[in-house]
Every structure is written in structure tokens, then in C-alpha cells.
Amino acid sequence: MNYLQVKCALAAALFLLTTRGAHAQPQSKKRVLVLCTGNSARSQMAEGVLKSLNPQWDVQSAGTKPAARVNPFAIRAMKEIGIDISGETTKSVQQFVSQGFDYVITVCDDADQNCPNFQGKVGKRVHIGFPDPAAATGTDDEKMAVFRKVRDDIRSKFTEFYRSTEASHGR
């Protein structure tokens, strides 16, 4: 090999390493919409979990009948695991129906049954159901225990979902 061939080979190797080398992360930004009825607890917690797993993903949550505010018990439960959802607001699914998503995930049976038709392209619709922690009764400590249980289930199932989607896309 002459000097010019070596220089070209090194330039090609450097290009490959910087654009898709062994240490570079593949581009796999996803758009995800998490749906529930009120968008006050389960979908908000799931949104927070997915954002914590990959801040590059565009994750939104919405409700078929949005509540007035995010449930304070959901905010507290997420804060306990280092995820801050206190700045989130409830949103209507109607503001998203014209947009495209890689995944639309319903987290309650009502949203699964009443999920609107999307005008934008939806790659895959998935249902990962959880009981409604906002339906919990009793003392604040008893309600908080229910929110923690649902939060932990959401974190477990959405971590599994995230890993499976990344594994299927070459990560």
C-alpha cells in the first residue's frame, strides 16, 4: 500500500467509526403516545418512565376524557424514584389524532376500547393495561401504597417494552 492508499483507508475507517462505529448509538428515535382515560396517573407515569429510559424518544401522553390535573399521588410516586412529572399537564387525545406515532399504547381498558382512529400513521397499537390507582380508597398512606404498586408495575412492563423495541431495531 502506498501513502495515498493508507490515507484513504484511514479516512474511510474514521468516517465509519464516527457515523456508525462500535461505540456509536444507532439512531432509533421513536414517537410514542400513551393513552388512558383521564391522563392523570397511569399514562403520565408511563410517559415519565419511557422518557427516563430514553430522553431521545418523543413521548407524549393523553386522555380520552382528560382530568383537570395530574394526580398528586402520581407525582409523588414518581418523585420517589427520581422522575419528576410535576410540570406535566393533562391533554386530550384529540390534539394528537392527526399526528403520526411509531407506537400508540393504551394503559387502561376504557382507552383501549375508545381509542380514536388516527389520521396520522401509527406503526403499532399496543395495550399494556394497569388497574386505576386513582380509584384507591382509604387513608393517604393506603392510597399511596396503591400508586406505588401501579408505578412499579408500569416501570417493569414499560422497561420490558422499551428493551424489546430496542432489541428488535438492532441495539
Residue 4 lies in a domain: no
50: domain CATH number? Answer: 3.40.50.2300
Is the Cβ–Cβ distance between 30 and 57 less than 8 Å? Answer: yes
pTM: 0.81
16, part of any domain: no
Q: Say if 55 falls within a structural domain.
A: yes
Q: What is the pLDDT of residues 145-157, one digit of tens each?
A: 999 999 999 999 9
Look at residue 19 and tell me if it is in a domain: no
Exactly one of 46, 70, 115, 150 is catalytic; which is it?
A: 115
pLDDT in tens, 64-117: 999 999 999 999 999 999 999 999 999 999 999 999 999 999 999 887 787 777
Question: Which of 33, 46, 50, 108 is flagged as catalytic?
Answer: 108
Q: What percent of the chain is helix, strand and coil (3-state, nearest 5)?
A: 45, 15, 40
Q: How many structural domains compose the chain? A: 1
Euclidean distance between CA atoms 85 and 76, whole angstroms: 9
Q: Are 127 and 110 in contact (CB under 8 A)?
A: no
8 in active site: no
Q: Is there a domain that residue 66 lies in?
A: yes
Range of the domain at 121: 28-167
- Residue labelled with grid coordinates 401501579: 150
Catalytic residue check, 36: yes
Decide if 12 is inside a domain. no
The verdict on residue 17 lying in a domain is no
Is 115 within the bounds of a domain?
Answer: yes
Query: How far is 20 from 22, CA to CA, in rounded Å?
Result: 7
8 A C-beta contact, residue 100 and residue 9? no
